[in-house]
Structure 1
Amino acid sequence: MRYFRLLLLLFFPLCLFSQDFSNQWTGHYSYFQISDTYAIENKVYAASENAVFIYDIDTRTSEPVSTVNGLSGETISTIYHSSIYEITAIGYENGLLELVIDDEVRTFIDIVDKPTIPPTQKRINNFFENEDKLYISTGFGIVEFNLERIEFGDTFFVGPAGSQINITGTVVSNNSIYATTTGNGILSADVNNPNLVDFNQWTTVVPGGYNGITFFNDQILVWENNNLVRRLDGALLTTVVTASSNILDASASSDGLTVVTSDRVSIFNPSFQEVTSITTSVEDPFLLNAASTLSNRVYLGTASRGLLEVDLGNSNVKTPVSPGGPLNNFAFRIEAFNNNLWVVFGEYNSTFNPFPLRERGISKLSADGWLNISKDEVLGATSLTHITVNPNDENQVFISSFKDGLLEINDNQATNLYDNSNSGFETFVDGNIAVFLNGSVFDNEGNLWISNSRVDNGLKRFTPGSTQTFDVDLSSLISDPLSNLGFSDTVIDRDGNLFLGSFNSGVIGYNSNTGNLVKLVGAAQANLPGDYITALEVDRNNQLWIGTLRGIRVLFNTPGVFQQNNPRTSQIIILDDEGVPQELLFEQAINDIEVDGSNNKWVATESSGVFHFSPDGQETLAHFTADNSPLPTNNVRDISVDDSTGSVYFATGKGILEFKGTATGPESNLDSVVAFPNPVRPGFSGRVTIKGLTSRANVKITDIEGNLVYEEISEGGSIQWDTTAFGRHKVASGVYLILITGEDQAETTVSKLLIVR
């Protein structure tokens, strides 16, 4: 009974019903890194890094399941599907168990939350189904899960004296359960023994270390910590397969025994004769993590090419069947423009060190889906860290490399790479290409202003079509350019003034008309909480929002900063829930700040997710975290707002999420004004969005008798109305007129809105 009490203490049911966010969110995960596969009936279940998808062989369609559908976003270790109970089980590196039942995700945190199990031993390694039980092989033992009752059963600690040991797999044969371990041999017990929680009921059949076990043609097969598959006959092992390299996985199906190594998949018949093999080659390379065979096809789970379908009758043709997505989940910077999203995956650390250099290519999302430009198609550019779309030609994109210069993309193809050998960009290592470019922005004349780190001429003006640059010498502000390890952001205000965020020199300002320079640095001088500037954004009121490792500041008068002797920034003071004044995002590490079409602020943080603030920062409109949204992590690296659609994109190290916002950029006229939802039906508690507005348009809402109930000047291309009469009370049912006048009063339009209470 002591073991039973231990079990109850260890696994008190902790099931959570995950929320589906698909109404307002879209997940843009990469499905190119496949960690595990499982094939049964007419479907293949594939696990990528932190999302899964189901490939239907008959319809040839792939259905993704991600954090938007309720998954955790943690790192997946294994996947299994029970065709009897129609349950998909997903195991994680951290011990999390998730089940997909009738399109609903149920999360079990029992293993994750147990302090008696070290974090390094909670990994779920394998699933095996027998009758109504799912045997879960973990880094500490074996856990039963009842698929019929959807609850945990017994837990077996089967190491010496009941210790925790790593179980790599289980099978049940002839009323015996067999388990392989990485160092404690092959263990066996009577599967019907009611006291399997007692480690004394388990015996060691064969000593040694084994990476897995499967059941094929009425035979128990194990694979050792090398290249051998061996058959278990009583207490004897007989080698039946010798692979060319270490075996990663082996699985059985009606097509035969599938043995997987990193560079080869082999299919063996019941006599263990190899009947088919698929091998990587220089012409068609792949690196394998898993593979499954079904209906005379093999499905290769690769490390960078996704899931590949191969007909065993023609193994030379490999058809990608993964859902569309970016090249990698590690999105470093993103840029949304006119319903397109560009993504780069380069990287530098907190000291602007890009090494080891990342070679990951470029991804682009458009109405046609994902387009991926591989690392072999970017002219050798590494560490791609910033994206700027030419607003006068959206087919021309400039991408900064924090090592190799400036990459030019035209019509989705890399056409030029500018560095110190062929342009005015500068290296800080004589005789080498060490051109550390980063933040860039276009001015109204079509010039690209870009930072060039660790050299005196730290700001460059580059005109597309030319190779020369106009240099801005910053040595009067930064005496030792090598000590300022890098520049983060570059922005421009409506007067043409440039601002750069630096590593240790605060904010650098440059007036392009007069050539004047200014530096905002230090707490005493400029009221900055830190001199490491991580993000800059000029809002629609021409105010500069500054992100640091220790909070946010605002420069309210950007043109005037060049006329002031000691320009200072201001913090945003808000009242907390108890009415006590607090500094907005005090001591928070800020990764990015963006402004939407309504001048609301979106702020990405290092550890607290994303904040959505009103234009002045006084009201928190939303706070998205990994706990209350599909974000897979609270470390959000970058944000980009698409003014044309209102969508807000979040880049993390674990994937990209899209929030379907409604705040769009200003239009050139009032021809496309629309209000939604319309009609407002009973029970609706949200806000009505009026979009298609010009900049600073006057919006008045009246009832049918002409009584004014709301009025606002638009910041961007849309406003939102809470359907109250100036915030006092909800307006009654009826028809309401939306009267819109342009800023110069030369253009007007009228729309109608029906409200039903």
Structure 2
Amino acid sequence: MKYSRSLILFLSIVAVTLSVSAQKLAGEWKKYQVIKPYIQRVISTPDRLYYICTDRLFSYDASTKQSDVISEGEGLTIGDISTVKYNHDKGYLALGAYDGSLGLVYDDGRVLNVQSVKNMSVASSKSIRDIDFLGDDVYLATDFGLVIIDASEGTVKNYTRPASDAKTGKQSFTAVVAVPGYVLGVSGGVLYCIPSDNRMRNFSNLKSLGLTLGNVELYGRGDGTFYASTYPDNCNTSSTKYMRLYRFDHASAACTLVNDYSITPISHIWEKGNVYMVEVEEDGGVATYDISSESDAEKLESTATPWMATDYSYDPVSKNKIISTYQKVNFYDGNGNNTGSFVADVPDDYTNVEAISIMYPSFDRRRIYLSTRSSSYNWKTAGNNYNPELYTRRPLPAFNGWIASMQSVDEVGSSDAYGFFVPSYVNMVSDGNVSDVSNYDPSNHYGNKNKVNQDNGGYWIYFLQAYYALGNLTSGGEGLAENPKKPGQYWHATNAEGLYVMEGGKELRILSNETSTMKSRNQWGTQILDVKFDKEGNVWILTPTVNRADASNWPVKLDSSVLQMLPASKAADVASITADDWIEANKLPVGTAEDSGQIDGRLTVTVNRMANGGESEYIFIKPLVYHGKILVYRRNSQGGEVDKDYPLFITSIKDQNGNEYLIQEMTHIEEDSQGRVWMGNLSFFGYFDSKTELPEGTTTLPIIVPYDRKRGGSPVDHAFITGISQSPVDGTLWVASQGNGLFHLNAEGTEQLENFRTSNSILTTDILGSVCVDASGDVYIGSQKGLFRYRPAYGAAAGDLSAVKVDPAVAKDGYNGAFTITDLTESCSVKVKDAEGNLLFEGISHGGTLIWDGIDKNGNRINTGVYDIVAGASGQTVAKIIVME
């Protein structure tokens, strides 16, 4: 095809002018607040009821039944709350934060933000771990030492300044108590004292008091006596439990035991009307004890125990009691009757999924599901899951002796188990809005899910998963998938209770061995590692190989395949599903893990290969633990049949140039709209092509590693890739990494368009867990710090099609970038045709912009020629693209 030299020269000049003048538009960022409605503390003061939810402070007005967010509405600007204590003498609530900031909220509404500790020149963490008061001063235990703050000025009055030869173990303090003339603190489980005057700045004055208390709460009474309670360490069965009163003698700088109350505390110590109280578990309930006397503890009242109680308060005058659970704050009268409750009041635009390691998009990308990863409950084998809940010390809920039975199977038996008691949530993102579709029922005053099985006590689903995770399981469920035939219906895999079929937040049915709706391998409950739908609507589940059928000591022996399918016809009627409806994958061994390979992990089911020239769809299983192979299941059958399918055990990976890569370094597998199965590996970034087929017996997986003639391999080669998602708007790739932030690549993966990190975006961490682009092109990024959204700038819509531009309008043959078409009308229909009128591409503009990756409908890159851009209902040619030799 020939064109005049003058035409090409003219168009080249125009294109260069447009390209030079074009500016890359900045996108729009948004961070979704992370607020888990988990109520950590309740603090009852003479004028207000405070509660802490997701490290934020709220106050509750009983007369209006309204909650106010003090952290936002009344000027409190501290970081995430790490500890809290009320000063009864001065009438204010003191809140310490992980970043060293301190907030004082007075009864009269005044708020004082103290930044003096946060701003100290200290190399180590400045987290505030405990607070006490004496006179006008606030005493702090921090990660770098003990600090005294002048509350009236908000300034540092004194602090421990470690000498150069000081032992580091003496610098970090977990508890503090103020006594006249001295500061006492616990470091490394040992109680120390130091004078509170200028001698405090000489660390050599720090003196051990000879008391090894362990992980304790200290509570001062202002007269030289103080309580030491093992409540913070009450899940550690290896330590002695106690509630003791000590007296510090100023003259001798020594402590003596006043009384051991012979009770086991299960709550913080609190004070009301000069009465000191603590909660004790007994007789299937809880009892409030008055420990004000130096001799005996007096029992004040008993209340039935709500499951998962997190904090308590009791008024000895009115005899009213407050008990918080994970979901609610509950009020009780003097007779133990529940008289009311309220749930945490959180803003609408938030997510309660904090550590997002996987996202689950619907087929049409109009909904994206987020969930706390179930396998992360098993901290022994969580690997790179980095869920911070696992390592955050939470108050361990107590009810009916359940703690002891759980600890009996915990090899460590330590406070690390606190993390198990944080519920898992499911959120759905649609059109930028986040809604909670979790499976819990806060309608009862306990705030937990109603009983599922009366015989086993009916633990709440996510806490039951936590229980089984303590049993040293090597894998846990992490799957969730939306039914493509029924938008909004999602199936949730658990590591203890099988599959939950949910309609929004409503439970439709539980599929498990126990309900006779599944034949799954199980050990302690029905464990499902993952669940996915294929393009026909069939359901595929993966169960653990570790629960192998030949083990005689397993409670349940089932010769069932680790990969099973539920036909779409059966999945359509959830109420009628039976165990016999499940079909085992063809030719997959059911023996030991050694026979079948370690295939416990995550499913990637292709749905686009056959639409892009492939003969079959495939199921890839990325293991949690690699044993030198991965399983690829070729799906040749249709409907409910599996007889033509076969498994392939892949032991090596080889690219188009003959380079071999390690199976063990695989980090992520994801299919794009062209049917390419992209793989993140520590040594490469590449894909299994849509037209390549794997015959039975194949052991080497052939891949294509993108290669650019100028720079070489892909920009994300050797990155730890945790997520891959292709934009349905322009076909470009978004890649999440662990440590290198978010990459934006061209459609071929050869060119880096953008790289977002904490240094050039609102991301608060470069350690990302996942990425997913929705139907409108919005990019959602999951991290251990919560959920972010990046909305690329597609340009404003034009009023008509008189000034449509394309960049670049002229490109050289071999150009691998995208073509950006701008100044279109809103939601404008756009087609690209060659000189013969053949349709190469069609799409809809977003705003006034549409981006085309330069790939035609057959998956081929356009070459030398002139291409018409046809837009609008009239089908007029509004611009041209020229590709030159």
Distance 1:563 1:340, change over 3 A: closer
1:62-461 alignment runs, 5 A limit: 62-63=68-69, 77-79=82-84, 89-92=95-98, 96-99=99-102, 114=123, 124-128=128-132, 134-138=138-142, 141-145=145-149, 154-156=158-160, 164=170, 167=173, 169-170=175-176, 176-181=181-186, 187=193, 189=195, 191=196, 193-198=197-202, 209=213, 211-216=216-221, 220-223=225-228, 226-229=242-245, 239=258, 242=261, 244-246=263-265, 249-254=268-273, 256-260=275-279, 264=286, 266=288, 268=290, 281=304, 284-288=306-310, 300=323, 305=326, 308=329, 310=331, 316-317=337-338, 319-323=341-345, 329=354, 333-335=358-360, 337=362, 338=366, 341=369, 343-347=371-375, 349=381, 363-365=425-427, 369-374=435-440, 382=465, 383-401=476-494, 405-410=498-503, 412-419=506-513, 422=516, 427=521, 436-443=528-535, 445-451=536-542, 454=545, 458=563, 460-461=565-566
Which residue number in structure 2 is paired with residue 28 of structure 1? 34
Give the AA of the match of 2:244.
L
Which residue number in structure 1 is paired with residue 726 of structure 2? 595
Looking at structure 1, the residues matched to 119 and 645 of structure 2 have their Cα atoms a distance apart, in angstroms, of 62
Give the AA of the match of 1:460.
M
2:50/2:59 contact within 8 Å kept: yes
1:596/1:641 contact within 8 Å kept: yes
The structural deviation recorded for 1:601 is: 3.1
Cα shift readout 1:453-497 (whole Å, capped 9, x = no counterpart) = 647674635320354244442559999653233242222233272
The structural deviation recorded for 1:574 is: 6.5
Looking at structure 2, the residues matched to 714 and 524 of structure 1 have their Cα atoms a distance apart, in angstroms, of 35
Which residue number in structure 2 is paired with residue 731 of structure 1? none
The structural deviation recorded for 1:746 is: 8.3
Looking at structure 1, the residues matched to 543 and 207 of structure 2 have their Cα atoms a distance apart, in angstroms, of 66
Structure 2: 5+ residue stretches without partners: 1-26, 105-110, 231-241, 386-408, 411-416, 441-448, 454-460, 466-475, 546-559, 611-615, 624-628, 801-820, 834-839, 852-868, 879-885
Distance 1:748 1:43, change over 3 A: farther
Q: Does 1:497 align with 2:516?
A: no
2:84/2:93 contact within 8 Å kept: no
**Which has the higher mean CA deviation after the structures are superposed, 106-115 or 27-36?**
106-115
The structural deviation recorded for 1:90 is: 3.0
Looking at structure 1, the residues matched to 174 and 50 of structure 2 have their Cα atoms a distance apart, in angstroms, of 22
Give the AA of the match of 2:717.
F
Distance 1:35 1:55, change over 3 A: closer
Which residue number in structure 1 is paired with residue 807 of structure 2? none
How many pairs are equivalent?
653
The structural deviation recorded for 1:385 is: 1.5
Distance 1:107 1:448, change over 3 A: farther
Distance 1:562 1:453, change over 3 A: same
**Which has the higher mean CA deviation after the structures are superposed, 371-380 or 501-510?**
371-380
The structural deviation recorded for 1:545 is: 1.5
Cα shift readout 1:120-160 (whole Å, capped 9, x = no counterpart) = xx86431245677543213664124566776656432699x
Q: Does 1:554 align with 2:570?
A: no
2:321/2:334 contact within 8 Å kept: no
Structure 1: 5+ residue stretches without partners: 1-20, 665-672, 679-686, 701-711, 724-738, 751-757
Cα shift readout 1:695-718 (whole Å, capped 9, x = no counterpart) = x84499xxxxxxxxxxx9776773
Distance 1:605 1:298, change over 3 A: farther
Cα shift readout 1:638-680 (whole Å, capped 9, x = no counterpart) = 444543794625264xx6424264699xxxxxxxx984999xx
2:139/2:178 contact within 8 Å kept: no
Q: Does 1:536 align with 2:630?
A: no
Give the AA of the match of 1:55.
S
The structural deviation recorded for 1:600 is: 3.9
SS at match of 2:654: helix
SS at match of 1:347: helix
Distance 1:289 1:365, change over 3 A: same
Looking at structure 1, the residues matched to 266 and 247 of structure 2 have their Cα atoms a distance apart, in angstroms, of 15
Distance 1:621 1:634, change over 3 A: closer
Q: Does 1:619 align with 2:638?
A: no
Looking at structure 2, the residues matched to 602 and 37 of structure 1 have their Cα atoms a distance apart, in angstroms, of 45
The structural deviation recorded for 1:426 is: 5.0
Which residue number in structure 2 is paired with residue 668 of structure 1? none
Looking at structure 1, the residues matched to 46 and 763 of structure 2 have their Cα atoms a distance apart, in angstroms, of 29
Select 2:599's aligned residue among 485, 489, 492. Answer: 485
Distance 1:77 1:453, change over 3 A: same
1:528/1:553 contact within 8 Å kept: no
Cα shift readout 1:532-581 (whole Å, capped 9, x = no counterpart) = 554332223332222345543223x4144358998732223469xxx854
Distance 1:253 1:596, change over 3 A: farther
Select 2:736's aligned residue among 596, 604, 620. Answer: 604
1:424/1:469 contact within 8 Å kept: yes
Looking at structure 2, the residues matched to 377 and 22 of structure 1 have their Cα atoms a distance apart, in angstroms, of 45
2:101/2:113 contact within 8 Å kept: no
TM-score (ref. length: structure 1): 0.66
TM-score (ref. length: structure 2): 0.58
- RMSD over aligned Cα, in angstroms? 5.8
Cα shift readout 1:193-251 (whole Å, capped 9, x = no counterpart) = 33432357678899674945445586743335521345668778685893731375324
Q: Which has the higher strand share?
A: 1
Which residue number in structure 2 is paired with residue 718 of structure 1? 846
Looking at structure 2, the residues matched to 435 and 452 of structure 1 have their Cα atoms a distance apart, in angstroms, of 6
Looking at structure 2, the residues matched to 81 and 614 of structure 1 have their Cα atoms a distance apart, in angstroms, of 56
Which residue number in structure 2 is paired with residue 585 of structure 1? 716
Looking at structure 1, the residues matched to 343 and 28 of structure 2 have their Cα atoms a distance apart, in angstroms, of 23
Identical aligned pairs, as a percentage?
Answer: 13
Distance 1:127 1:319, change over 3 A: same
2:287/2:300 contact within 8 Å kept: yes
Distance 1:107 1:372, change over 3 A: farther
Distance 1:385 1:656, change over 3 A: same
The structural deviation recorded for 1:388 is: 1.0
Select 1:572's aligned residue among 706, 714, 722. Answer: 706
SS at match of 2:479: strand
Which residue number in structure 2 is paired with residue 524 of structure 1? 654
Q: Does 1:650 align with 2:759?
A: no
